[in-house]
Structure 1
């Protein structure tokens, strides 16, 4: 059988690397892996659909499902996850002694629809009593000016979102007190050296551990999408790719556990991994629809509640259920 050639754009993650270096080869597919920064991949795929398969922001993908002809389908594969308490930053002179103090404040966001920010607003609303509409939002580049929303938004009037100036950055505005807080996936310029910048949750690891203990949610940031026309011509690729992604993930787990020669440049990796397993359990990054149903459906609910998605969706509506066979080595 002739092998199908597909392009795949993704960050160079450890859980993807075996696909790039050839240790894992998807059945029937020659996968041309293009390692790109996430923002470039998202922009090129969302705007121009340049790749057959790509990593994509979960929020952006979810919004494409509201279109009359959704351009992508998603695999139950999630190359990026992150707890989000750690990346809520504050101006230390703003008098924010706890999450409840955010009500009525000015908060910066790189984009309103950014996956990290959807999680942060949802968590703050559901678990800390900070309604989404109680905050005034300002959007723009975190450390570089000129960032705009990837997808046009039609938000309800109760939600206030204002773009910052074309020469402004959220980092500078936070330091100068023009913003009280910033929700973002990254780190504001100057954090760690500028005493005007701090975290809303100083002991964020304890907060995130408690959040996982109560909810079982390790937030999904990105999924893997296939251009719909490619999938409809070759529906078998969903299973083949999912199986290969799981094999690559299992090799990444194995690399983390290796002790005779560390594959990751963390001298106390063994202790860090032990703490992670104690807090999250084995298979904490596992793919699959059922294992991640509550995570996907919580995010979909947050997106709808925040005026983004037209309605909440089930996990089966978000990712391809027929690709979820739980393949393991």
Structure 2
């Protein structure tokens, strides 16, 4: 008899073949739900609705400080993003580089959001902006928000303000905050382009330079399954890994199929070929081996901020059956 497993994922091409049932999971009868990303995370972080779910990677790593780790990670990454293009500024301030933001007011929706964790760490290590230097402003992106989406842990000695009566998008447009670390563009970037713009004039060039120096394409999410299912079914993590890898493989093939473009980009094939030329054909790598240094870097950033107390090695993060991937 197959193991019944509820799975929650966002609507991305990497997981689509699995979500549609075109890729089976060996030994599993999967009931897969596709949801918008933020509602998916809010539901899983608060109610733990799904047995297996796409998970924000920094939040998952924080679980290792708990006496009981409730989730087992699978080293496949539905979302990866450099995020240099996701730093927005009030254009009147004249900022052109990360170090300009020292002592300034930077908006962020969720402190342990992977996009913000990576940006703080990268800008500290490579761009001369110490992560403690800015004043951070916590609020909703495009609408006011009364509280946290899920419980947060803030580092001591860092200036953090919580605003509940207006949005970060509004505050960036009016200049109440100077910059914004985000996963998606604020509304004011589109409605007030004369006032809100990107920090980097050419974010792609900056991202390619960063990759050339580090070989890191930062993961934002991974897949995690509740530990009790793994305790009862030790074969499950590898079965999940194999299925998600196959789903990702089919997504890549679909992008290369120029008979009908997979997404509405007229130069998709050329852009994909150029991406693979610059980053390598395995730029969206899965498995532990290809991503060991990525995890070492993320652990270092989280520990520097006090978001992770345990001194973990990358090998501590995954079961032995997945360290071989």
Structure 1 residue 313 displacement after superposition: 2.4
Residues 76 and 320, structure 1, Cα contact 8 Å, conserved in 2: no
Counting matched residue pairs gives: 323
Two-structure CA RMSD over aligned residues (Å):
1.3
Aligned mates of 2:270, 2:323 — CA distance in 1: 32
Aligned mates of 1:40, 1:299 — CA distance in 2: 25
Question: Unpaired segments of 5 or more residues in structure 1?
Answer: none
Structure 1 residue 321 displacement after superposition: 3.9
Instruction: Map Cα deviations across residues 70-104 of structure 1 (whole Å, 9 max, x no partner).
Output: 11110111111001111011001123232211111
Residues 289 and 321, structure 1, Cα contact 8 Å, conserved in 2: no
Aligned mates of 2:93, 2:295 — CA distance in 1: 34
Aligned mates of 1:132, 1:312 — CA distance in 2: 20
Match of 1:53 in 2: 52
Residues 112 and 152, structure 2, Cα contact 8 Å, conserved in 1: no
Aligned mates of 2:319, 2:261 — CA distance in 1: 36
1:249 is the counterpart of 2:244: no
Find runs of 4+ consecutive structure 1 residues off by over 6 angstroms: none
Aligned mates of 2:125, 2:185 — CA distance in 1: 24
Structure ranking higher in helix proportion: 2
Structure 1 residue 232 displacement after superposition: 1.0
Change in CA separation of 1:325 and 1:78 when aligned onto 2, cut-off 3 Å = same
Instruction: Map Cα deviations across residues 179-228 of structure 1 (whole Å, 9 max, x no partner).
Output: 01001111011214411101110100000011101100000000100111
Match of 1:155 in 2: 155
Structure 1 residue 58 displacement after superposition: 0.4
Match of 1:174 in 2: 172
TM norm structure 1: 0.95
Match of 2:272 in 1: 273
Instruction: Map Cα deviations across residues 95-151 of structure 1 (whole Å, 9 max, x no partner).
Output: 323221111101000111111000010111001110011111011101021152512
Match of 1:209 in 2: 208
Secondary structure class of the residue paired with 2:187: coil
Change in CA separation of 1:19 and 1:124 when aligned onto 2, cut-off 3 Å = same
Q: Show the 5 A alignment for 1:17-56.
A: 17-56=16-55
Question: Unpaired segments of 5 or more residues in structure 2?
Answer: none
Secondary structure class of the residue paired with 2:65: coil
Change in CA separation of 1:219 and 1:126 when aligned onto 2, cut-off 3 Å = same
Instruction: Map Cα deviations across residues 7-47 of structure 1 (whole Å, 9 max, x no partner).
Output: 00000211111112222101111111100112122122221
